[in-house]
Chain A
Amino acid sequence: MDANPGAVSVHLPRALLVLFPGAPSRVEVEAGTVREAIAALDARWPGMRDRLCDSRPAIRRHINVFVDGAKATLDTELRPGGELLVMTAISGG
């Protein structure tokens, strides 16, 4: 993808990538909020929103999203050139 100064850099966890063959660990999207960024991911890889968000709607309880290093919600705003980090939280056994 061409570098886009208005885009946000999204980093995706490996456990998610195995569910969507071909999805890269780092992708640029144009979005003003976390919600819009996840919608952009879902448009490119249908079903990805359901893996990251539940129907409350909210980020899933065991998924952590950070915007420029700070814990974020669906409503958190993104800045052009910012970084959105999606991580799997401690879970399971």
Chain B
Amino acid sequence: MASKAKKVFILIGTRKGAFVLSGDERRKDWSLRGPFCETWPVSHVIADPKTGAILAGGGNEWFGPAVWRSDDLGETWTHSSEGLAYPEGQDPVKAVWSLARGPGGLYAGVEPAGLFRSDDGGRSWQHVEGLTNHPSRKEWQPGGGGLILHHIVPHPEDARRLWVAVSSGGVFHTADGGESWEPRNRGTRADYNPEDQRYPEYGQCVHSLALAPGANGRMYQQNHCGMYRSDDAGKSWVSIEPGLPSTFGFPAAVHPRDPETLYLLPLNSDIGGRYVPDGKAAVWRTRDGGKSWRDLRDGLPQESAYLTVLRQAMAADALEPAGIYFGASAGALYASADEGESWSCIARDLPSIASVETLVTDG
């Protein structure tokens, strides 16, 4: 059993600031701090495991995009957008939507869709022009959330490799640190295209993208049109929808150690309200890479629950057994300390939740 001294932090991005829930490894009692970041809309909050810093990305209608940084677990914050800009004359960067720390540095995904890299922990940024210059860029269409780069998945060891997810451009991969990119969408549908154009090279509306642990090329994605698994680092995808209650949803969370285990939160449909089917909340888990599914409902509301959970709003922690967390756009945050078997609501009335991430420390 792990040391009792471990601390668990849940990092929450909301429409009105960042929040941090703190608990111990039992994950029964939580204390909430926030709102941070001067109540700016915050799309994503992550922990940089290399430095222990918390980084929050967002954008304010008045003051534009920024990445906020705290080196004391949220007590004090600084902010910067130095270099977080497209060249003069282009549509300005409106907001930061996603953050990720990889071996190649810190990355920020923005709206309108593009990628930036920081080599100084978020104090200054450089445009990764190779993605913006991809010939397909002019054909990417904004989804319901705008033309956003909402997931950045660095390879855990190879600093040159990176996947990104764009709504609606699809999944793109670089193997040369961002100089060149290729679409990785083969096998994923675009049901909103004419019948003979449902499997394009790019233009899919990916909602969530995750790399399974083990670095063997296993990936998962929740798409606007289906749920998928890849066993070749995203070069090709197969549907894992059979057994699930719908083909629609936003988040996907991988288990911290088992590449066969994935958590999804299917919503009824893109035209049916986009809430949990029949107003009954459930997380769906596979233990066999998507061949079979089980619904996990114990402790989740099963009556008149019209929850929506957005693309970045579900995460696992690194403890044993793994904790799973999701935040609803109506402001409730649910947690399981036993890999999804049972759930409890640990924050009921937060602002609309955009993202959930976790950090486990040794004390």
Contact = CB atoms under 8 A, between A and B. Distances in A.
Interface in B65-106: 66, 79-82, 84-90, 92-93
A60 B66 CA distance: 14
B61 A91 contact: yes
B193 to A, nearest CB: 33
B79 A19 contact: yes
B62 A91 contact: yes
Contacts of B88: 55-57
B92 A54 contact: yes
A93 to B, nearest CB: 9
Interface residues of B, number: 19
Interface in A13-56: 15-16, 18-19, 47, 50-52, 54-56
A16 B87 contact: no
Contacts of A18: 38
B63 A16 contact: yes
A55 B81 contact: no
Main secondary structure, interface of A, reads loop
Contact of A55 (B61, B63, B79, B90): B90
Nearest to A48: B63
B273 interface: no
A15 B38 CA distance: 9
Interface residues of A, number: 19
A88 interface: yes
B321 interface: no
Contacts of B63: 15-16, 19, 50-52, 60, 63
B92 A89 contact: no
Contacts of A15: 38, 62-63
A71 interface: no
A55 B85 CA distance: 6
Given A19-B63, A60-B62, 20 more contacts: A15-B38, A16-B63, A18-B38, A47-B79, A47-B82, A50-B63, A50-B64, A50-B66, A50-B81, A51-B62, A51-B64, A52-B63, A55-B85, A55-B90, A56-B89, A60-B63, A62-B61, A63-B63, A91-B61, A91-B62
